[in-house]
Each structure stands twice: as C-alpha cells, then as structure tokens.
Amino acid sequence: MDIMNIPEMFGENVFNDVVMRSTLPKEVYKSLRKTIDAGEPIDMSIADTVANAMKDWAVSKGATHYTHWFQPLTNLTAEKHDSFIEPCGGDGVIMQLTGKSLIVGEPDASSFPSGGSRATCAARGYTAWDPTSPAFVKEGTLYIPTVFVSYTGETLDKKAPLLKSMTALDRATKRILKLFGIECRKVSTTVGPEQEYFLVDKDVYEQREDLILTGRTLFGAPAPRGQELEDHYFGVLKPRISEFMRDLDKTLWSYGILAKTKHNEVAPAQHELAPVFTTTNIAVDNNQLTMEIMKKVAQRHGMVCLLHEKPFEGINGSGKHNNWSLSTDTGLNLLDPGEHPEGNGLFMLVLACVIAAVDKYQGILRASVASAGNDHRLGANEAPPAIISVYLGDQLGALVDSIVLGKDYVPTAPVKGSIGVPESPIFPIDSTDRNRTSPFAFTGNKFEFRMLGSSASVADPNVVLNTIVAEEFCVAAEKLERSENFRKDCKAYTEKLLKVHYRVIFNYNGYGPEWEPEAERRGLLNNKNTADAVPEFFKQENIDVFVDQGVYTQSEAIARAKIQLENYVKTIRIEALTMLDMAKKQIYPAVSAYVGELCANLAAKKSVVADLPCAEEEALIKTLASCNENMMAAVRKLEADLSDIPEGEREASQRMAHVVVPDMENIRGFADQAEKLCSADYWPFPTYSDLLFSIK
Ligand code: ADP
Ligand code: MG
C-alpha cells in the first residue's frame, strides 16, 4: 500500500493561506486577509497582483485554464473554462490572468433557472470573485469560487444569498454580544455536513434506465434481504469499498477538504463521509466538490455513486446532517452551554432566539429542504418526520421545562462513565443522549438539522437558518438595547420566548404514532411533499424576513420558490416518462413473453397428457397476465394525467404530487408484483439483489 504524507499533501491543490503568504507581497497579503477574516471590502488595487500570483501558482500545478466556478439554482456547480493564453505580438503567447478577469466574469445567464425574474432575452450575468473561499486547481484548470448575479443585480445562485445571510447573522449577533459587553471582529456560522451515499457496480447500474435517467429505481421488488439484520451499519468495509474510500479521502485532502469520518451506513451498499466542520460558505463549496469527487472516484473504481435521496424503496434513503453553530473570531461558540447553562444568560438568550426562529419560520425551514427526492425520506420513519420540532436533550430539556412549567431544576453534575471493568478507563459522559428522530436536535454545542437531502446544496437550509436567527436576534436586540435593567429584562425576555415557542420543543420519539396528532394539536405544520411545503415561501410574513435581513428582495424570494416548484414538476415528469418507457418497452414485453412460454408449455403438456395436474401453472399465467394488464391500465391513466398538467408551477406541482405520484406508485405496485413471479431469465433488468449485493 502506498504511504501518504498527509500533512504534506493536504491542500496541495489549493491557493490557501500558506501559498498566499509565500507568493504575495506582504502588504497585498495583509490586505487580502482583512477581506477574508474581517469581511472588509476588497481593495481593487491589489487584484492584478493577486491574479498574477494565482496564475503563476496554477501554471506550476499544470493548469492551462481558469474558470469562474459558481452555483446556479440547480444543486450543481457550473464552470466555463478560459485559457490563460494571450497573444503577445509576433506569433507567441504569454500566460496571463488579469485582476479584472479574476474579479469579474460574464457567462451568458439566459440558460440558467431564473424563476421568471428575468426575460430570456436578457442574457447578461456576472460572476464575481468570492475571496473568502479559496481558489484551487483541478484537472488542469484554476477554479475561482464566485457568486453569480444578473445584469440588474438579482442573485442567480446559491452563494450570494448565503454570504448575505452570513453577513446578516454577523451583524445581528454582534448586537446581542454587545449587550453582554462582548466585542469581536466577526461572527461566523460553521457547518459540518455529514454526507450519505450509495455505491453500486457500474455494469449493473448501466442496465437500469431508471438509475441512469433519474438517479433512483422506479421499479424493484424488495430483495429477500434488506437491512433487517442491522449488520451493515459500521460493518467491516469490503475491499473494493475500502479502496474507494481511501482514494476518495486522498483526493479530498489534496483539495484541502477535511474528510474525517467514514463508515458503512444502515442500508446495504450505503455509506457516509463526515468532514470536520468549517465556515459555512467553505463548507458549502467543499460539499459541492465532495459530491462531484465522490462520483468521479467511484467511476475510477468501476462503481457509480448514487447521491439521490431515495435510490431504493424499502431500505433507508440518504440525507445530509447539517451540524450548525455560530462562533466569534475570538473562539467563543455561542451554542456552548458551558457546565451551568442555567447561569449563562447569553447562551439562554441565544437558545431562546433559535427556538423562536425555528418555531416562527418552521414553514420555510421545512421548505428549504423540499425536493422530489427528499419527499421519499421525510416522514418515512428513517429520516426525521416532515414536522419541524426541536430536541433539547435531558439537561437543557429539564432546564427549559423548569422555566416554562415551573418544575424543579436540579443541575446535573458532569457524570463519569465506566464500563465496569477495573482495567478500563473512566471517561466523561455527554450531558445528553442522542435522538435520531428529531429534525432539529441540540447536540452538545451545536444544532443538527437533519432534514436535508443527500443531493441538495448545503446552502439552502443555511440561508434560511442564518436569516431567521438573525431576525430573532434583531428583534431581541431592539427590545433589550433600550432596557434600563438589562439582566432582569434579558431573563424575562428569554423566559417569555421559551414560553411562547414551547410548542416546538419535542424531546421524545418523532417516529411514534402519537407524534403526528400531537403536533397537529400544537398547531405545527406537517407539509409532507414539496408541492405543499414550498408555497410557504410565498407568504408575505416569510418573504419579509428575507427582505428585512437584506438576503433576498421580494422578487428574488418569489423567483426562487418558483424555481423550486418548477424543478419538482420537471423531476416528476422525467421520472414518469422514464417509468412509462420501462413499463411499455421492457416490463410488458418481458412478462408477456414469459406468459407466452408458460402457455405454450402448458398446451404442449396437455396435448400429451390431457389431465396433467397444472393448477399452479394456470394460476401463475392468470396472475402474471392480470398484473401486466393492470399495469398497462395504470400506464394509460398516467399518460392521460401527464397530458393534462395545468400551467403555472403551483397548480402543476399540486397535480404532480397528488395525481401523478400516486399513478406512478400504482404502476410500480403491479410491476413489482410481476417481478416476484416472473422467471429470472425473462426479467429485463437487474434486481434489487443485484444492485445492493454485487460489490465484493
Ligand atoms: P455524529 O455522531 O452525528 O456523526 P459528530 O460529533 O461526530 O456527530 O459530528 C458530526 C459533524 O458535526 C462533524 O462534521 C463535525 O465536524 C460537526 N461539528 C462538530 N462541532 C461543530 C460545530 N461547532 N459547528 C458545526 N459543526 C460541528
Ligand atoms: Mg449526525
């Protein structure tokens, strides 16, 4: 096995601090750092010098091109490569990157989703360098992270609003800190996204039209073995998987991505990678890169990486836990309760504001993770339910109960654990146990938002989270900045918030049957699919919070929600058309041929022995034939419904969610029943067993 010198190769493809320090003149370096660390506007006069240093470094790494790397509203990244060459008189060229080319680019924006915020003929869009996320060299190109805006200044990407939401939260948090006499230069949110994924063999994958076109299986009877043995979670890595993970880590480290934890997940063929947390905008970029690299590395190992939220029915789907906290540049984590949260006024106020924000804006928090893929997870007893609630754990739960319900609170002393064997060490025990079923769980010094889908951009939920918490901080600051008796008023304000928003706290099992009716009694939203969830973004009180915090304008907020619905409609349509194709061209002919063979055999047998027992064969023929007939009837219904989708994304998405999706489930039901009975020789594509258990 090759030995890696990780500290040496870590970040070797990144124009990081070490490279900047060694390639930039001192003054330029200092000026750039001020922009990165303290959010000061970039000094344009240094652009040429930085660009040149970046280019020289990139060329030394084998780069011939540069690209403004951006994140349009597609969950993917976009790039257009320009070479560094510049004619220099005579027949020669030089390699050049000017400050202007570093700072601004102009890709044609007309073919990216804009949600009607721009006429198609208005094509101008600009990419602007984001110096807070480092540039890197990949496959011969220098990648410059950028934000993407239109000619008229509307944001057309996921990064600009994310950065704006981080600025809003920075501003608002400093107001809160000031009340407590705490000064700092910058407050940043940090995120550690745990990424789940599936790996399937490439040869098997390529025989499934549904996987190729939609990323998930639209058909498939359950394999005889699923995840019931609970033996895959944390199980020993198979050699091919282990080699893949090693290659993946190595590649990610070379891009400066802090890949930390890797393990098998609950479902067969499912795995997870968790990085060490970092500032949110870098976490977003790193996660985009991680998803892309996972797919590429899998290809190198003869496998395909599936990032879809629900590639297989009947076993767990994939999510992305968004571990979120906020801290100052002086190292104070505002979500760290310390040993005595009951006496930590700042922490209690922050906690109360987060709880209030999550309760008030539960609709848009839920909507921020809504997609066709994620609809299969939320509410399917494997991911958190579609209802937003907050889990606080034993210690904080008891503390909040004491405030709201007047119960006694006995501060818990830190507990030491032991396994009861004298030789084994004594270790400190966390103050809270885990709760896997909560969508928004406090986990010691951070909140873990667990609803995000595996293929989604980390940006979306964080834009909402940062914005709504900033809003609540501003409301609190507004109130408390005028207070004459701060300590008393702050305590009273915190208690009031906790009382008003107590309904969103739920410290029990979110999968239990009692929770849905209980949540309904509490007046919590339960939007089970994208079509029902996204319209929360159209409500004026929800738009206002984005406008107030300077994150979206009214029209940007609306445009984004429209794109999300449009995307949902398009995704379901592609899935439906793929399903029709497979049902008509693969399943129907296969079942029909098998029934034909059974009939021919039966006729032949009967012609020799007239009273040959053949009840089973006859029954099989009848069942299969009626499955096929019923499936085709369901196909006809889906075709009719698809040809009659109303205009307008709201109406269309409603029709998709409530008519087309049930039609598709109906087709699948008959097809999967046929699969269970059909001869393996006739079944037209690999089964769940082939897909989930083929990797050795
Ligand atoms: P789990 O057991 O759910 O995997 P871990 O404690 O291992 O939880 O952490 C999961 C993720 O949370 C990691 O990516 C980790 O870096 C991240 N994380 C830890 N602390 C913070 C924090 N303060 N802010 C954001 N993310 C954090
Ligand atoms: Mg987790």
Q: How far apart are the first and last CA of the chain?
A: 19
pLDDT band at 422 (very low <50, low <70, confident <90, very high): low
Q: Which ligand is nearest to the CA of 323?
A: 1
pLDDT band at 411 (very low <50, low <70, confident <90, very high): confident
Report residue 89 as tokens.
């008189």
- Interior angle at CA 210, CA 684 and CA 292, nearest 5: 135
Q: How high is the mean pLDDT of the chain?
A: 93
Ligand 1 center–CA 355 separation, angstroms: 20
Q: How many helices (H) and strands (E) does the chain have?
A: 24, 19
Are 460 and 537 a contacting pair, CB within 8 Å? no
Residue of 167, 129, 145 whose CA lies nearest to 38: 167
Q: Per DSSP, what are the bridge partners of residue 447?
A: 324, 442
Given this model, what pLDDT does residue 407 score?
84
Report residue 44 as tokens.
């344009």
pLDDT band at 513 (very low <50, low <70, confident <90, very high): confident
Residue 414 lies in a domain: no
Ligand 1 atom index nearest CA of 274 = 14
Q: Which residues have a Cβ under 8 Å from the Cβ of 133 and sit 6 or more positions away?
A: 145, 281, 282, 285
Ligand 1 center–CA 259 separation, angstroms: 12
Residue 558 lies in a domain: no
Q: Which ligand is nearest to the CA of 443?
A: 1
Given this model, what pLDDT does residue 428 score?
64
The Cβ of residue 89 has, within 10 Å, a number of other Cβ atoms equal to: 7
- One-letter-per-residue 3-state SS of 197-217: EEEEEHHHHCCCHHHHHHCCC
Residue type, 443: T
CA dist 193 and 286 (Å) reads: 10
Ligand 2 center–CA 309 separation, angstroms: 16
CA dist 130 and 160 (Å) reads: 9
Q: What are phi and psi of 657, to 5 degrees?
A: -65, -40
Report residue 247 as tokens.
């290659």
Ligand 1 center–CA 458 separation, angstroms: 15
- One-letter-per-residue 3-state SS of 105-119: ECCECCCCCCCCCCC
Residue 86 lies in a domain: yes
Given this model, what pLDDT does residue 117 score?
61
Structural domain ending residue among the three candidates 157, 174, 192: 157
Ligand 1 center–CA 326 separation, angstroms: 13
Residue 464 lies in a domain: yes
Q: Same structural domain for residues 323 and 448?
A: yes
Are 554 and 189 a contacting pair, CB within 8 Å? no
Q: Which ligand is nearest to the CA of 192?
A: 1
Q: Which ligand is nearest to the CA of 384?
A: 2
Are 411 and 342 a contacting pair, CB within 8 Å? yes
For tokens 């976009």, what's the residue? Answer: 78
CA dist 510 and 514 (Å) reads: 9
pLDDT band at 343 (very low <50, low <70, confident <90, very high): very high
Q: Which helix (H) or strand (E) holds 274?
A: strand 270-275
Ligand 1 center–CA 11 separation, angstroms: 21
| CATH of residue 502 | 3.30.590.10
Q: What are phi and psi of 83, to 5 degrees?
A: -80, 160
Q: Using CA positions, which residue lies closest to atom 14 of ligand 1?
A: 192
pLDDT value at 106 more than 90 = no
Ligand 1 center–CA 280 separation, angstroms: 13
Ligand 1 center–CA 431 separation, angstroms: 16
Structural domain ending residue among the three candidates 102, 128, 157: 157
The string over 576-594, giving b where at least 16 C-beta atoms fall within 10 Å of a residue's C-beta and e elsewhere, is bebbbebbeebbbebbeeb
Residue of 560, 550, 380 whose CA lies nearest to 470: 550
Residue 233 lies in a domain: no
Mutation choice for ligand 1 from 280, 323, 462, CB with most ligand atoms inside 8 A: 323
pLDDT digits over 293-324, tens only?
A: 999 999 999 999 999 999 999 999 999 999 99
pLDDT digits over 530-542, tens only?
A: 999 999 999 999 9
Ligand 1 atom index nearest CA of 323 = 26
Q: What is residue 537's three-state secondary structure?
A: helix
Q: Same structural domain for residues 196 and 79?
A: no
Q: What is the mean pLDDT of residues 273-300?
A: 97
Report residue 529 as tokens.
């699919």
Ligand 1 atom index nearest CA of 275 = 14
Task: Please classify residue 419 by burial: count the beta carbons closer than 10 Å to its beta carbon, then call 0-12 exposed, 13-18 middle and 19+ buried.
Answer: exposed
| CATH of residue 585 | 1.20.120.1560
Q: Using CA positions, which residue lies closest to atom 17 of ligand 1?
A: 192
Mutation choice for ligand 1 from 277, 279, 442, CB with most ligand atoms inside 8 A: 277
Ligand 1 atom index nearest CA of 335 = 23
Ligand 1 pocket, residues with Cβ under 6 angstroms = 190-192, 194, 274-277, 323-325, 333, 445-446
Q: Same structural domain for residues 384 and 487?
A: yes
pLDDT band at 426 (very low <50, low <70, confident <90, very high): low
Q: Which helix (H) or strand (E) holds 364?
A: helix 362-367
Q: Same structural domain for residues 528 and 584?
A: no
pLDDT band at 260 (very low <50, low <70, confident <90, very high): very high
Residue type, 333: N
Domain that holds residue 47: 3-157
Q: Which of 171-175, 176-180, 511-515, 564-568 has the lowest mean pLDDT?
A: 511-515
Q: What is residue 543's three-state secondary structure?
A: helix
- Interior angle at CA 30, CA 26 and CA 34, nearest 5: 170
Given this model, what pLDDT does residue 308 score?
98
Ligand 1 center–CA 446 separation, angstroms: 8
Ligand 1 atom index nearest CA of 276 = 16
Please give the tally of structural domains in the chain.
Answer: 3
Report residue 392 as tokens.
């606080």
CA dist 451 and 471 (Å) reads: 22
Q: Which ligand is nearest to the CA of 452?
A: 2
Are 678 and 627 a contacting pair, CB within 8 Å? no
pLDDT band at 408 (very low <50, low <70, confident <90, very high): confident
Residue 631 lies in a domain: yes
Residue 250 lies in a domain: no
pLDDT digits over 647-691, tens only?
A: 999 999 999 999 999 999 999 999 999 999 999 999 999 999 999
Q: Same structural domain for residues 299 and 445?
A: yes
Q: Same structural domain for residues 680 and 589?
A: yes
Q: Same structural domain for residues 515 and 596?
A: no
pTM, rounded to two decimals: 0.94
Q: Same structural domain for residues 657 and 574?
A: yes
Q: Same structural domain for residues 53 and 173?
A: no
- Return the percentage of the chain with pLDDT > 70, whole number: 95
Q: Which ligand is nearest to the CA of 279?
A: 1
Ligand 2 center–CA 321 separation, angstroms: 5
Q: Using CA positions, which residue lies closest to atom 6 of ligand 1?
A: 443
Q: Same structural domain for residues 540 and 597?
A: no
Ligand 1 center–CA 375 separation, angstroms: 25
Ligand 1 atom index nearest CA of 327 = 23
Residue 437 lies in a domain: yes
- Maximum Cα–Cα distance for the chain, whole Å? 104
Ligand 1 center–CA 688 separation, angstroms: 33
| CATH of residue 122 | 3.10.20.70
Residue type, 311: P
pLDDT band at 433 (very low <50, low <70, confident <90, very high): low
pLDDT digits over 143-157, tens only?
A: 999 999 888 888 889
The string over 450-463, giving b where at least 16 C-beta atoms fall within 10 Å of a residue's C-beta and e elsewhere, is bbbbbbbbbbbbbb
Strand stretches in 360-467, DSSP E: 390-391, 416-417, 427-428, 440-442, 447-449
Are 212 and 311 a contacting pair, CB within 8 Å? no
Q: Using CA positions, which residue lies closest to atom 11 of ligand 1?
A: 192
Report residue 379 as tokens.
């509410």
Are 150 and 109 a contacting pair, CB within 8 Å? yes
Report residue 321 as tokens.
């836990």
Ligand 1 atom index nearest CA of 192 = 14
For tokens 């767990």, what's the residue? Answer: 316
Q: Which ligand is nearest to the CA of 333?
A: 1
Q: Same structural domain for residues 682 and 572?
A: yes
Distance of CA 77 to the CA centre of its chain: 14
Higher pLDDT, residue 235 or 319 = 319
pLDDT digits over 458-482, tens only?
A: 999 999 999 999 999 999 999 999 9
Structural domain ending residue among the three candidates 518, 550, 582: 550
Q: Same structural domain for residues 572 and 621?
A: yes
Q: Per DSSP, what are the bridge partners of residue 136?
A: 14, 143
CA dist 219 and 690 (Å) reads: 13
Q: Using CA positions, which residue lies closest to atom 1 of ligand 1?
A: 194
Q: Which helix (H) or strand (E) holds 346?
A: helix 345-360
The string over 544-565, giving b where at least 16 C-beta atoms fall within 10 Å of a residue's C-beta and e elsewhere, is ebbeebebbbeebbbbbbbbbb
